[in-house]
Structure 1
Amino acid sequence: MIDTKIYEIDPKSIEKERLKFAAKTLREGGTVAFPTETVYGLGGNALDEKAVKKIFKAKGRPSDNPLIVHIAKVEDLDDLVKVIPENAKILMEKFWPGPLTIIFERGDKIPDVITGGLDTVAIRMPSHPIANLLIEMAGLPIAAPSANLSGKPSPTKAEHVINDLEGKVNVIISGGSCEVGLESTVVDVTGKPMILRPGGVTKEELEAVLGNIEVDLAIEEGNVNLIPKSPGMKYTHYSPQGEVIIVSGAVEKIVEKIHSLKQENEKRGLNVGIMCTDETKTLYKEGVVLSMGSRENVASIANHLFDVLRMFDEEGVDIIFAESIEKKSLGHAVMNRMIKAAGYHIIKTGR
């Protein structure tokens, strides 16, 4: 059991003194959970194999699952990668700092434990002021997967991190809610550009600067037998304690089907949760009904998705029926996470 230090820091008015201990902890091989614009990350010195192994231990994360390395400035890339392709330079100029991770050929200083033995390394530059300043003050590249127990919904609030990791990590920085709410988009530029994980930067935004870009088939719905190439996508993720089932189709058909499924499962004695949207919430009269956000503002759904999944745990539900949303733009990333949370269990209704 570790004596976890918890520091509350206002991202709008950062007191550097409060970050000094966390930066020192990272330099000394410890683990620090901190907010980013995507989700909270659990950081350790990316160049210290022992420190990185502490991350895997705290999360209960499989050791063959690669980690993303976080940097504070572009110059930090020099010691971490072999070459910076032109496509990477374009993406860095447009989207860094921000919710975009780029896959490079790994440099010699990157230990195998970071990459899962691969010849590539995933790197991003977060835009969150606390994250960026912490990395700069530590003076190190920081390996940081999401700061949750492996398999659980990613943390977008400090209380999520505290619930999962207090007593398992050295420091937790409480810095409010994360702006995006979904992990970063991952793009491989070691060959023809390919999206390995959808996230806060959309396919449309990427294509506006790179032209047509492919998507890893393994992350698409139904391709359960393909192994995703991206960090954090290989194993089941984002799952609350209750079983999640997605209901897809036309909205009115979705609502009708969920009503039917709710009645069937309540007869079995199950506590049923319904994950809906602002537009449909009033159509469900009873039960544990939680809205993800508005279909007219998909960013609000992205921002609340993981929090809502955790709220169902607090309600002690046995099974959750979740409305699908349209898989376009940011909705592609939202549905990717929902499908993973549901273990690819989708009920399709008529259109």
Structure 2
Amino acid sequence: MLPADSGIAEAASVLRTGGLVAFPTETVYGLGANALDARAAARIFEAKARPSFDPLITHLADAAELEKLVGAVPPAVTALAERFWPGPLTLIVDRPAAVPQIVTSGLPTMAVRVPDNAYARALIAEAGVPVAAPSANRFGQLSPTRAEHVVRGLGAAVDVVLDGGPTRCGIESTIVDARAGRPVVLRLGALPLEALAEAVGPVTVRPGSSGQPVAPGTLAAHYAPRTPLRLATGAEPPAADGVRRGFLAFREPPAGDWAAVEVLSAAGDLTEAAARLFDALHELDATGVGEIVVEPVPEAGVGRAINDRLRRAAATWQPAG
């Protein structure tokens, strides 16, 4: 593990030579490789045990790099990039020939963004290549919001881990396809729908599916701890069945004798709750409880994305059929 403020040059060299670098962004830690190198991108899928049908997000150091990479960009995509980059917005564009198909999982489109994190942009600029990077964790598991989460989850599979401290947003980017003009949200994320609507008018939200994803992180079951997790059904005491349970609360600790409790925001602040979400789930996952019960948050602003992550995590543990 290297401090992000002094390890940029070494990490960039690793990227240029086909290696894997975990690095901080404003959303979660990413597992990066040269997006123009098919072999390097293949190492991401191997390290994460990620299925080949789930595409990656390509990260750029600056919005000006988008047109250089993909050529002509639709006006609606350009407008969103100008308004929200750097930031937690991923945009869908047509895949250029320079980007190997493994990065896009064979799709004719590519997901791309400019992160709002000085360490991330400095790393990409120093490497001199676009960086393909999903979250730096094993596929389907909790996203990392601290460097130690990466080390704990991926270990020696990563060549360099840059430690830039805890991430600011705490959940992944919002993914939007605006190539046809009207924005379609493919994944809820750290940029709220209200911010998009204020900038461009009404937006459509397309739900995820269990089939081939059209964008990263949209499978119905995802973002799950190792411990079985389910959504709370109203105010419920811990069951008297001998199972030690943990509880993830929005703003107030629950009644009852829970083995472990994490509160996302005592002030009821959804931005704080999002920043705490995966960190709190990592903490509960490490306690050794037999089940984690999670309380949904208000369905507004970034709360929609928090609830989306909780539903997908719970879906991982729902019985088949």
TM value normalised by structure 2 = 0.94
Distance 2:54 2:123 in 1: 24
Amino acid in structure 1 at the alignment position of 2:160: V
Residue deviations 1:156-215, cap 9 Å, x none? 011100101121111001110000000000000122310001111111100111111100
In the alignment, which of 230, 238, 244 is matched to residue 229 of structure 2? 244
Distance 1:99 1:42 in 2: 16
Distance 2:143 2:3 in 1: 20
Query: Given the alignment of the two structures, is residue 291 of structure 1 paired with residue 286 of structure 2, yes or no?
Result: no
> Secondary structure of the equivalent of 2:156?
coil
In the alignment, which of 292, 315, 328 is matched to residue 300 of structure 2? 328
| Kept in 2: contact 1:294–1:300 (CA 8 A) | no
Distance 1:19 1:134 in 2: 5
Task: Please show how residues 281-320 of structure 1 align to structure 2 within 5 Å.
Answer: 281=253, 283-294=255-266, 296-320=268-292
Q: What residue in structure 1 maps to residue 54 of structure 2?
A: 65
Distance 1:34 1:113 in 2: 21
| Kept in 2: contact 1:43–1:55 (CA 8 A) | yes
Amino acid in structure 2 at the alignment position of 1:270: V
TM value normalised by structure 1 = 0.86
Query: Given the alignment of the two structures, is residue 214 of structure 1 paired with residue 216 of structure 2, yes or no?
Result: no
Aligned-pair Cα RMSD in Å = 1.8
Task: Please show how residues 168-247 of structure 1 align to structure 2 within 5 Å.
Answer: 168-191=157-180, 192-216=182-206, 218-219=207-208, 228-234=213-219, 236-247=221-232
Consecutive aligned runs of 4 or more in structure 1 exceeding 6 Å deviation = none
Q: What number of residue pairs does the alignment pair up?
A: 317
Distance 2:220 2:35 in 1: 22
Residue deviations 1:36-59, cap 9 Å, x none? 000000000000000000011111
Q: What residue in structure 1 maps to residue 150 of structure 2?
A: 161
- The structural deviation recorded for 1:293 is 2.0
Amino acid in structure 1 at the alignment position of 2:158: V
Distance 1:202 1:344 in 2: 25
In the alignment, which of 5, 8, 17 is matched to residue 3 of structure 2? 8
Q: What residue in structure 2 maps to residue 349 of structure 1?
A: none
> Secondary structure of the equivalent of 1:160?
helix
> Secondary structure of the equivalent of 1:26?
helix
Residue deviations 1:267-321, cap 9 Å, x none? 1x3111111123x216344421211224620011111111111112211111111
Residue deviations 1:221-247, cap 9 Å, x none? xxx667653212226321112211112
Segment of structure 1 superposing worse, 291-300 or 135-144: 291-300
Structure 1's 151 and 59: CA in aligned 2 closer, same or farther, altered over 3 A?
Answer: same
| Kept in 1: contact 2:250–2:268 (CA 8 A) | no
Task: Please show how residues 88-107 of structure 1 align to structure 2 within 5 Å.
Answer: 88-107=77-96
Distance 2:150 2:102 in 1: 23
Distance 2:158 2:60 in 1: 21
Q: What residue in structure 1 maps to residue 138 of structure 2?
A: 149
Distance 2:79 2:316 in 1: 34
Structure ID, larger Rg? 1
Distance 1:103 1:272 in 2: 40
Q: What residue in structure 1 maps to residue 74 of structure 2?
A: 85
